[in-house]
Chains A and B, each alone.
Chain A
Amino acid sequence: MRKRNRDEVGKGEGTSQGRATTGKTAEKNISLTVNGKLHELMVAKDVNPWHTLAYTLRETLGYTGTKIACDHGSCGACTVLMDGEAVLSCMTLTVECDGKNITTIEGLENAKTRELHPLQQAFVDNTAFQCGFCTPGIIMSAKALLDKNPSPTEEEIKQELAGHYCRCISHYEVIKGVMTAAGKGR
């Protein structure tokens, strides 16, 4: 209820962040498809050149399921899929994302039935999280892995997730969760 509504983009305060926007006119649109929904963002109005994809997703578009922890590409919390590849959204500038197809954690469940993606269900069933802050990023990387390699070995899962910081140490349960999801043919 307190969260910013995803449909409010471009309507009111909070969308043009920062100092360099005053007096400038919008020059270019960035088309960003997020979880199947097209967003037209105006540069210098909705997006400034220094805005990261993580910032745009969270602050401008309201996809707050994507988490920012280190904001320096070291912890993996902000991982999203860009055209199917796992990327660090805190290290990606939004102005470089024109025409890209983004999937965030909010885009995994079945939009109509609200049925969880098998990976999400496997994380629930294995309690593959503790505090849950790093979970969206880990699930997105795991999804990228399973999309390419539906039956990974434990070692391949570890390699794929090596860049993800999980301080509670849910690693063991995460590996089980990904294996469970993989076992179900993803």
Chain B
Amino acid sequence: MRTEYRHLGKATPRKDARAIVTGEAEFIDDVKLPRMLYGKVLRSPYPHANIKNIDTSKAEKLPGVKAVLTYKTVPQWKWGEPRHEPVLDSKVRFVGDAVALVAAETGEMAEEALELIEVEYEQLPAVYDVEEAIKPGAPQLYTQFPGNVIPPDPPKSVPKLLQRVVMGDVEKGFEEADFIAEGSCAYENFANPLPPEPPGVIATWEGPEQLTIFTASQSAAMNRNFAQPAMGLPDIRVIGTQCGGSYGSKNANLRPVTFAAALAKATGRPVHIYYTKEEHFNAYSLRLGSRIHIKAGIKKDGTVTAVSGEWLVNAGSYTESGKYQIAVGLGETQILLRCPNWNLQTKLVCTNRSPSGIIRGFGGQELESAWVPILSIAMEKAALDPVEFFKKNYVKAGDGYYWRDGNWWVYRGVDYSKAMQKGAEAFGWKDKWKGWLKPTAINGTKRIGVGVGVHGNADVGEDESEAWVKLSPDGRAIVHACVSESGLGQRSSLCKMAAEVLNLPLDRVNIAPPDTHVNPYEFGLVGSRGTYTVGSAVIQAAEDAKRKLFELAAPVLSAKPEDLETKDGKIHVKGKEEEAIPWRRAMGVMRTCTGQGRFETDFSLANFMMTFTEVEVDVETGKTELLRVVAATDCGQIIDPLVLEGQLHGSLGSAGIDTALFEETVLDKNTGHVLNGNMMDYKWRTFVDLPEFQNVILETPIPSHRFKAIGVGEIATAPGPSAVLMAVSNAIGKRIMDYPVTPDRILKALGKI
């Protein structure tokens, strides 16, 4: 059934491999523009305060300082959804919020200038908890968001946005249920995706209406798409540098972008802003907080009859995309769970925590990590094996869901039950699963437990992409798709797809740099969309280019275009390869053949990931160790096996599985300061802590595009946290409902402290 391809499915070195291993790859902090200034940000020591007075005169006099900006002097740009975040404000809303900006000849001069800015604050009471924030009398962050609730209206750019799931009759559904589970759970440890490279940007104005941005973004083009309307529609050229890790967090976060652009405007020179690791920890966006109060009804056979509840989402002090994350999370939970009766309401709430932004898992990981533990109670009551429950309830062809656009979509993809089964077999689930709250094995004080989680996303077909493929007479092709490289290998994968269509050796296909002014429209590499959406556009463009080439070649070969084939930069009539002519004979030397491709949104396919985890918990010390992970998926067709394996291994870090084990941003609620905002105190997995990790990857052809492939990278992290919570609960025989599973929480659950 599986098609053998020339390039696809085979491990090939990444196009940028040599640059990476020699240190030549150009990251944002390696870029130096002539006359470039260095920007630094003065940050608030208070979680909530009005700026009563700000005096920048001493800082301005310091030699080398070229501009000092405050809320009074910055451009009046606003971003976020709804637009609520100015470049600087007269009010600060979290510890680390920006107060003033400085550009100077060197970074050291800019830092010294920050120390000379005098600020008088009027401190205000702060609120960090999502439910405290919506109580009457709570400190108010924004006059336009009374009660700290961000209204659920759709943005101006879209007609609808899913902000609740309401369908069927929940009362009737609960009556039909054999078991009802009800409870609350939260996934609000605000773990940091923490790419090794801090966020960075360089901005330079080529003219009053012409801004160029160099960015370490995973989706360079998205910066143009989002920054243009926020900044009064100047022409914005965005050039992506090699991205030193993102995991969603470096898409179009406009905070550093607007800082650099404002300083560049004020000075008429390029301005470089590169966060320190401390700023990265304390002043950049984190994952949304997620808390749920929910009730679920199920039948003995695992049929879910009703879901009703409220999802409280902590947006922190500013939100880049909270509403969209709610929309996608609500869609994803319907992919996980077939149920005819829903009443799931949501609230997006501001607090004085770090801003929230795009993070891998995008709403779904947040919702699921809080919701599956309650669903587990229902499964326990019905004595159901969770793997069987997920097999029964995961979306199947013909099922539907309300997706983020508020529309009902009917799923037309493959049945992932086979991948679940293969994963379970590889893990040895049948032997290890002993029932709810039962350990797999006991060794003295150590208890082994297993757990499983599942996730799927229909954003694999989100938004639009365009691509050109340009053939040159020398028998080479250039792909024009505005795609950055943040570790996903997507730039190389797109070359492989084009090379496959054009039957060219891989070294004859290259991709243009991620630059909005040399490429057509691109949304960005998010939601595992690269393989299906950008892939479709590139395939279409390559096919279009080939068609044009054959039209030129047909008269030369005295044949019809449909009778022609191409291989290695030559064209021949089918069956007559020995009479092949080089492309240049058909094209002439002063021509290119450019094909165009375009993909339009399609939410009728979803990807799939199931994560099996095995943990060992020491009931004496409370320490949990992750022993083994099996990640099971079906991607239709592997583009590059090593790249895919790496993406799935990535489920441990970047705010994934480890958010259930030890990762969290610890806040001092008396002062609003983060207590572990550095790489010593923030815990991360090292080479000596690796669990055994096995990927089970199926290739059932998926009706996406010519190569039947679908992306899965983004969702690799999402099923992990709830799987770990389940495994730990089973190991110790007590239900744990908090993330992460610190020794304190384990010992507390066991009644030992």
Contacts from A to B (Cβ < 8 Å) = 2-4, 13-14, 17-19, 22, 58, 63-72, 74-75, 77, 104-106, 108-109, 116, 120-121, 123-127, 129-136, 139, 157-159, 161-175
A124-B277 in contact (CB<8A):
no
Shortest C-beta distance, B218 to chain A (Å), equals 9
Interface range on chain B (Cβ under 8 Å from partner): 35 or more
Contact for A70 among B20, B33, B679, CB less than 8 A: B679
**Is B31 touching A69 in the complex (CB atoms < 8 A)?**
no
* Cβ B22 vs Cβ A106 within 8 A: yes
Q: Indicate whether A4 sits within 8 Å of B22 (C-beta atoms), given known contacts A131-B487, A133-B196.
A: no
Which residues of B from 615 to 664 have beta carbons under 8 Å from A?
640, 642-643, 645-647, 649-654
Closest to B642 in A: A127
Check B27 against A124 for contact (C-beta < 8 Å): no
**Distance in Å: Cβ of A45 to nearest Cβ of chain B:** 14
Give the docked Cα–Cα distance between A134 and B242 (Å): 13
* A–B pairs, 30, beta carbons within 8 Å: A4-B32, A13-B105, A17-B107, A18-B109, A63-B23, A64-B26, A65-B24, A67-B197, A70-B678, A72-B679, A74-B680, A75-B196, A108-B22, A116-B21, A129-B487, A131-B195, A131-B242, A132-B244, A133-B244, A158-B687, A162-B686, A165-B686, A167-B196, A168-B653, A169-B649, A170-B646, A171-B687, A172-B690, A173-B649, A175-B687
Q: Mask for B568-580, Cβ within 8 A of A = 1, else 0?
A: 0000000000000
Cβ contact within 8 Å between B196 and A77: yes
- Report how far A164 CA is from B686 CA in the complex, Å: 7
CA distance A22 to B30 in the complex (A): 27
Residues of B within 8 A of A170 (CB): 646, 649
Q: Taking the complex as formed, is B508 at the interface, i.e. its CB lies under 8 A from any CB of chain A?
A: no
CA distance A171 to B691 in the complex (A): 11
Q: Which residues of A contact B20 (CB under 8 A)?
A: 123, 129, 132, 135
User: Once the chains bind, are A105 and B23 in contact (CB under 8 Å)?
Assistant: yes
CA distance A167 to B107 in the complex (A): 27
When the two chains form their complex, are residues A69 and B33 in contact, meaning their CB atoms are under 8 A apart? no
Residues on the A chain within 8 Å of B242, using CB? 131-132
A17, closest chain B residue (CB)? B106
Find out whether the CB atom of A167 lies under 8 angstroms from the CB atom of B654. yes
- Considering the complex, give the chain A residue whose CB is closest to the CB of B12: A127
User: Among the listed A116, A124, A135, A169, which residue makes an inter-chain contact with B653, where contact means beta carbons less than 8 Å apart?
Assistant: A169
Is the CB of B18 closer than 8 A to any CB of chain A? yes
| Min distance, Cβ B547 to any Cβ of chain A, angstroms | 33
Alpha-carbon distance A77/B27, docked complex (angstroms)? 13
Given A127-B17, A139-B21, 17 further pairs, Cβ under 8 A:
A69-B197, A74-B679, A104-B23, A106-B24, A116-B21, A116-B22, A120-B21, A124-B18, A124-B21, A130-B489, A130-B647, A133-B245, A164-B686, A167-B194, A169-B651, A169-B685, A172-B693
**Measured CA separation A109–B22 after assembly (Å):** 7
Q: Is B512 among interface residues, defined by CB-CB distance under 8 A? A: no
CB-CB under 8 A from A69, the residues of chain B are 196-198, 244, 277, 679
Q: How far is the CB of A85 from chain B (nearest CB, A)?
A: 19
Contact B27 A133 (CB under 8 A): yes
0/1 string, B185-210, CB within 8 A of A gives 1: 00000000111111000000000000
Which residues on A sit within 8 Å (CB–CB) of B18?
116, 124
Say whether, besides A64-B23, A106-B23, A116-B22, A134 and B196 are in contact (CB < 8 Å): yes
Is B383 in the interface zone, CB < 8 Å from A? no
Contacts of B425 in A (CB 8 A): none
B112 interfacial contact with A, CB 8 Å: yes
A150 to B20, CA, bound (A): 24
Q: Given A133-B244, A158-B687, check contact A3 B31 (CB 8 Å).
A: yes
User: Within the assembled complex, what's the spacing in Å between the Cα atoms of A72 and B63?
Assistant: 29
The smallest beta-carbon distance between A106 and chain B, in angstroms, is 5
B489 and A169 contacting across the interface, CB-CB below 8 Å: no
> In the complex, A19 Cα to B680 Cα: how many Å?
30
The residue in chain B whose Cβ has the minimal distance to the Cβ of A137 is B196
Instruction: Report whether A171 and B680 are in contact in the complex, using a CB–CB cutoff of 8 Å.
Output: no
Q: How far is the CA of A127 from the CA of B487 in the complex (A)?
A: 10
Residues of B within 8 Å of A131, CB to CB, are: 195-197, 242-246, 486-487
- Digitize B97-124: 1 where CB-to-A-CB distance is under 8 Å, 0 elsewhere: 0000000011111001000000000000
Give the chain A neighbours of B22 by CB distance below 8 A. Answer: 65, 105-106, 108-109, 116, 120
**Is the Cβ of B30 less than 8 Å from the Cβ of A124?**
no
User: B642 touching A67 by the CB < 8 A rule?
Assistant: no
In the complex, per-residue mask of B12-54: 1 if CB is within 8 Å of any chain A CB, else 0: 0110111011111111011111000000000000000000000
CB neighbours of A14 from chain B (8 A): 32
8 Å CB contacts to A: which residues of B688-722? Answer: 688, 690, 693
- Chain A residues, Cβ within 8 Å of B518: none
Distance between A112 CB and nearest chain B CB, rounded to angstroms: 15
Top 6 closest pairs, chain A to chain B, by CB:
A65-B23, A133-B244, A130-B487, A131-B487, A132-B20, A105-B23
B358 nearest CB across to chain A (Å): 16
Task: Decide if B688 touches A158 in the complex (CB within 8 Å).
Answer: yes
Contacts of B651 in A (CB 8 A): 169
Nearest neighbor of A122 in chain B, beta-carbon distance: B21
B645 to chain A, nearest CB (A): 7
Determine if B501 is an interface residue (Cβ-Cβ < 8 Å): no
B686 touches A168 (CB 8 A): no
In the complex, which residues of chain A have a beta carbon less than 8 angstroms from the beta carbon of B195?
A: 131, 133, 167
- Provide the residues of chain A in CB contact with B167, threshold 8 Å: none
Min CB gap A53→B, angstroms:
15
Interfacial chain A residues near B63, Cβ < 8 Å: 22
Residues of chain B contacted by A158 (CB below 8 angstroms): 687-688, 690
How far, in whole Å, are A91 and B20 apart by their CA atoms in the complex?
24
The interface residues of chain A lying within 8 Å CB-to-CB of B489 are 127, 130
B684 at the interface (CB under 8 A from A): yes
Min CB–CB distance A127 → chain B (angstroms): 4
Q: What distance in Å separates the Cβ of B5 from its nearest Cβ neighbour in chain A?
A: 18
Q: Considering only CB atoms, which chain A residue lies closest to B681 in the complex?
A: A74
Min Cβ gap A4→B in Å is 5
Residues of B within 8 A of A124 (CB): 13-14, 17-18, 21
**Residue from the set B196, B646, B650, B654 with the largest chain A CB neighbour count within 10 Å:** B196
Does B276 count as interface, using CB distance less than 8 angstroms? Answer: yes
Is B138 close to A, CB under 8 A?
no
Structural contact, A127 and B650, CB atoms closer than 8 A: no
B375 at the interface (CB under 8 A from A): no
8 Å CB contacts to A: which residues of B393-447?
none
Bound-complex Cα distance A105 to B276 (A): 23
User: Could you tell me if B245 and A18 are in contact, using CB atoms closer than 8 angstroms?
Assistant: no
Alpha-carbon distance between A107 and B652 when the two chains are bound, in angstroms:
33
Q: How far is the CA of A120 from the CA of B198 in the complex (A)?
A: 25
Q: How far is the CB of A116 from chain B (nearest CB, A)?
A: 7
Residues of A within 8 A of B608 (CB): none
Bound-state Cα–Cα, A171 to B488, Å: 15
> What CA separation (Å) do A175 and B430 show in the bound complex?
31
Give the Cβ gap from B690 to chain A, nearest Cβ, in Å: 6
Give every chain B residue within 8 A of A105 (Cβ-Cβ): 21-23
Partner of B487, one of A64, A163, A165, A168: A168
A130 to B493 CA separation, bound complex (whole angstroms)? 13
**Provided the pairs A4-B32, A72-B277 are in contact, do residues A167 and B247 lie with their beta carbons within 8 angstroms?**
yes
User: Which residue of chain A is the closest to B193 with respect to CB atoms?
Assistant: A167
A interface footprint on B245-287 (CB within 8 Å = 1, 0 otherwise): 1110000000000000000000000000000110000000000
Is there an interface contact between B646 and A130, defined as CB atoms closer than 8 Å?
A: yes
Query: Which residues on the B side are within 8 Å of A165 (C-beta)?
Result: 196, 679, 684, 686
Smallest CB-CB separation from B658: which chain A residue?
A169
Docked CA distance A109–B20 (Å): 13
Contacts of B487 in A (CB 8 A): 129-132, 168
CB of A117 to closest CB in B, whole Å = 9
